[in-house]
A and B are shown apart, each in its own frame.
Chain A
Amino acid sequence: MNDLWAGLAEALRLVLRLDPDLVEITIRSLQVTLTATAIAALIGLPLGAWLSVNRFRFRRVVIALLNALMGLPPVVVGLIVYILLSRAGPFGVLGLLFTPTAMIIAQVIIITPIVASIAHQAIRDLWSEYHDLLISLHTTRAQRIKALLWDSRRALLTAALAGFGRAIGEVGAIMIVGGNIDHATRVLTTAIALETGKGNFALALGLGFVLIALAIAVNLALHMLTRTERSSQW
């Protein structure tokens, strides 16, 4: 219990001092995870919509696969990305290992199935609601997907936020592919792992509280964004 208070105090101290290291890793955490979330959304949302609207032979297989991929252990993703990006691996020439880009790639792989799966569920429900209308209005497939994506945007935002939440708190994969290099690839979660390893529980907890606050702040910010959007749209 004492450790918890010490952690809270440490978090406050770090934030109030605007500790430069803290600011740096916080910004990097945000950069990596927001970029990964945006890319995962760009892939996962249309994929979810496409899976909802199209009937094809292996649709159930693809959906089952997607749901299975949601449970992929991040460490395994990290290891696979590591092997692919290693100098000895097929994409070694790109020199991406131990860079934020490698961390983004790993996070995209981890969260795209989540984003696509949640999007698929939301859009599938909306599609069953809209089906007759959109067919009646003689829409093209692209028009259908567009309408479904736009009208389920709040659910899609939730999907993206679920992806963000998982990515920002992830440590196993980015530790392997990022390497937790100070001033290069260290982010909040890997710093927490490092400080825990040193037995600096207060500092680790402090960073943990900053991470939680960050996740809440991003969620609130996006929520507010949609609120303003609602009042202007509707």
Chain B
Amino acid sequence: MVASILPLRLEAVELRKRGKHILGPLSLELGATGCTILLGPNGSGKTSLLRLMHGLERVRRGQLQWAAPLEEARRKQAFVFQTPIVMRRSIVDCIAYPLLLDGQSRSAARAEAADMAARVGLHGDLARPAFVLSGGEKQKMALARALVRAPELLFLDEPSANLDGRSTREIEAILQSLKADGTRIVMSTHNVGQARRLADDVLFLNEGKIVEAGDAATFFDNPTTPEAQAHLNGDLIP
């Protein structure tokens, strides 16, 4: 097996945006396996933390360290956004795009993209423009696009926040099978039920800080902080 880009270590990392303090200082380590779920109320910093780890936000204070050179680490991870970014292309070309970037031929990339579309349950004519897809289908397309390069690490930011129950379950099923295949998943959600179904361990955020972190079973059965207890009960955090 090739060397892993994980673990990822954050040390006293802080994030500011437009002069506003958003995250941290926070320190954590993401191990090489499992599914980590970021939980926390709206505005607690889940999206910001995912983007920061993925390299979409610049770290100005603290340290963010991959187990592999940055270039390699960037290539072996992918991100699924809360609102899918739909390119103005056909469905198959949207999914194939990352492969084209890697220098694959258009036909080979399309063949692989079609396989991946089938795997995430995207059916129908893939030559249609991607914008005609429904919300759930767009998210599946985005998932297929993220997976087409076979990333070692997959970030997902509330991938089913805008979806109905059925699409949510379909996405979850895909994530379960990815987990089974050994893809490292780091995902945020505000859906506690979804977190219970998927999590191996949990990072609970509030006001830009990690309030509680650890094994999923322990977190859900015996949350130690009042913030986590309130969140799991569906109450407002004191």
- Interface residues, chain A, with chain B CB atoms under 8 Å away: 126, 129-130, 132-133, 135-139, 143, 147, 151-152, 233-234
In whole Å, how far is A175's beta carbon from the nearest beta carbon of chain B? Answer: 41
Cα of A126 to Cα of B79 in the assembled complex, Å = 19
B87, A130: Cβ atoms under 8 Å? yes
Residues of A contacting B88 in the complex (Cβ-Cβ under 8 angstroms): 126, 151-152
Q: How large is the interface on B (under 10, 10 to 19, 20 to 34, 35 or more residues)?
A: 10 to 19
A133, B81: Cβ atoms under 8 Å? yes
Cα of A234 to Cα of B126 in the assembled complex, Å = 9
Residues of B contacting A136 in the complex (Cβ-Cβ under 8 angstroms): 54, 56, 78-79
- Interface residues, chain B, with chain A CB atoms under 8 Å away: 54-56, 74-75, 78-79, 81, 85, 87-90, 97-98, 101, 127-129
24 contacts between A and B (CB under 8 A): A126-B88, A129-B85, A130-B87, A132-B81, A132-B85, A133-B81, A133-B85, A133-B87, A135-B55, A135-B56, A136-B54, A136-B78, A136-B79, A137-B98, A138-B74, A138-B75, A139-B101, A143-B101, A147-B87, A147-B97, A151-B87, A152-B88, A234-B89, A234-B90
**Cβ-defined partner of A234 (8 Å) among B54, B74, B101, B127:** B127
Residues of A contacting B101 in the complex (Cβ-Cβ under 8 angstroms): 137-139, 143
Residues of B contacting A233 in the complex (Cβ-Cβ under 8 angstroms): 89-90
B79, A234: Cβ atoms under 8 Å? no
Cα of A67 to Cα of B183 in the assembled complex, Å = 50
Residues of A contacting B74 in the complex (Cβ-Cβ under 8 angstroms): 138
Cα of A137 to Cα of B78 in the assembled complex, Å = 7
